[in-house]
Amino acid sequence: MNGPLRIGIAGLGTVGAGVVKLLAQHRNLLGLRGGRALDLVAASARSRAKKRDIDLAGVRWEKDPLALAKAADIDVVVELIGGSDGIAKRLAETALRSGKHLVTANKALLAMHGTELAELAEQRGLILSFEAAVAGGIPIIKALREGLVGNRVRRLYGILNGTCNYILTTMRETGRDFGAVLAEAQAAGYAEADPSFDVDGIDAAHKLAVLTGAAFGAKVNFPGVHVEGIRRVTSMDIGFAEELGLRIKLLGLARETRYGIEQRVHPCMVSLDAPIAHIEGVFNAVVVEGDFVGNTMFQGRGAGQGPTASAVVADLVDVARGRHMPAFVVPAAKLADKKVSPMDRHQGAYYIRLMVQDRPGVIAAVSGALARERISLESMLQRGRSQSDQVPVVLTTHETEEAAMRRALARIAKLKVVAEEPCVIRIEAF
């Protein structure tokens, strides 16, 4: 423990470059905080010739990232390649099997193989850390492992994707629709050229699966996450939400129910009284409800070079200090194989926006379809006539079961007076 912690890093993109910069800039400070020097020994990336704003003088270059895992002069491998399989998975497994600690920012890898990697690390007495994989610079994994470890988590929820939060915030502030704001986000670098992982909710679902494992002592179960994105959210719905005292956010939510673990990622309407309603732009936030501590909220930048590099280096300092903690709070062999709570069993309130023909009897027909499923209304907004002979009708319901709501919506969609598929957004009470 007296010698330096010898680091090999795979992947020198935005985050990798940030880690190199941070290690160099705070070398002395990190040595004091880690109890020994943190030395970058070797690096690997797709192209050595690519121009990077980092100093790699004295750092050995490895063409094959797997060489980092096998090198005798490396203690910990930092995996920043990305992807749930392929070279990233091989590197993670090889590093652990070769006796190297592993630090990763790869939420997709952890969502698909986190339980197996945790088991492998613990079998070999090694550290697996992944603070940077969820919510960037927000220390939420450390909070679950340490600060909140005395609590039984009742529920957690949060804004886990900054791209979606930026898009929804900008739609609300400008009145523009999804497509136009997405194009602007891509031009500004907030969204990828192919934004599917972000806007379709997959990125947030990866992160939620990892958080759920840590919060509830459960095996990581990405296939058990119900996922919906934000493509169908319109500026009209955002406007109606504000009129109702609500705000639309893409949230990841997890809780234990009598049917099993409920994991959901989808657009939600939340009260303007809820603190999470006011997390705007590219920021992330996570709320953890503990049985003793109550509600705790963590917020900050969920991506970017600096915040994510900060989280990676925090893990490296833990490795330097020899802080051996189970990756998912409890030993991997003790992680529960919990049932998935079916989405049909979800209980909650709903926002329904219909485009209907402006004629007598419409409201009665819609109300009848809801009444057949014993769904009661809390409020209704109805607009006057329009040139197109189609007007929006907005309904909010009291709490009901998802399965009943889906049956009612199927009947409503078949009504001749309903011009398009109903827009439905779940309302969350916090």
Please give the C-alpha separations between residue 74 and each of 8, 124, 151, 173, 329, in angstroms, as whole numbers: 6, 16, 37, 50, 26
- The answer on 285 and 312 residing in a single domain is no
Model-level pTM?
0.95
Q: In which domain, by residue range, is 201 found?
A: 141-302
Instruction: Please pick, among 89, 100, 107, 207, the residue that the annotation labels catalytic.
Output: 207
pLDDT tens across 123-165, in order?
999 999 999 999 989 999 999 999 999 999 999 999 999 999 9
- The answer on 290 and 258 residing in a single domain is yes
- The answer on 276 and 373 residing in a single domain is no
The β-bridge partners of 295 are 289
Look up tokens 């039984």; give the residue.
Answer: 152
Query: How many domains are there within the chain?
Result: 3
pLDDT tens across 16-25, in order?
999 999 999 9
Residue 338 lies in a domain: no
The two three-digit tokens of residue 42, written as one number:
């070797």
- The answer on 129 and 26 residing in a single domain is yes
pLDDT tens across 236-247, in order?
999 999 999 999
Active-site annotation holds for 414: no
- The answer on 271 and 211 residing in a single domain is yes
CATH number at residue 424: 3.30.70.260
Residue 336 lies in a domain: no
- The answer on 295 and 147 residing in a single domain is yes
Whether residue 313 contacts residue 30, with contact meaning beta carbons closer than 8 Å, is answered with yes
- The answer on 408 and 394 residing in a single domain is yes
- The answer on 200 and 285 residing in a single domain is yes
Q: In which band, very low, low, confident or very high, does the pLDDT at 303 lie, cut at 50, 70 and 90?
A: confident
- The answer on 274 and 150 residing in a single domain is yes
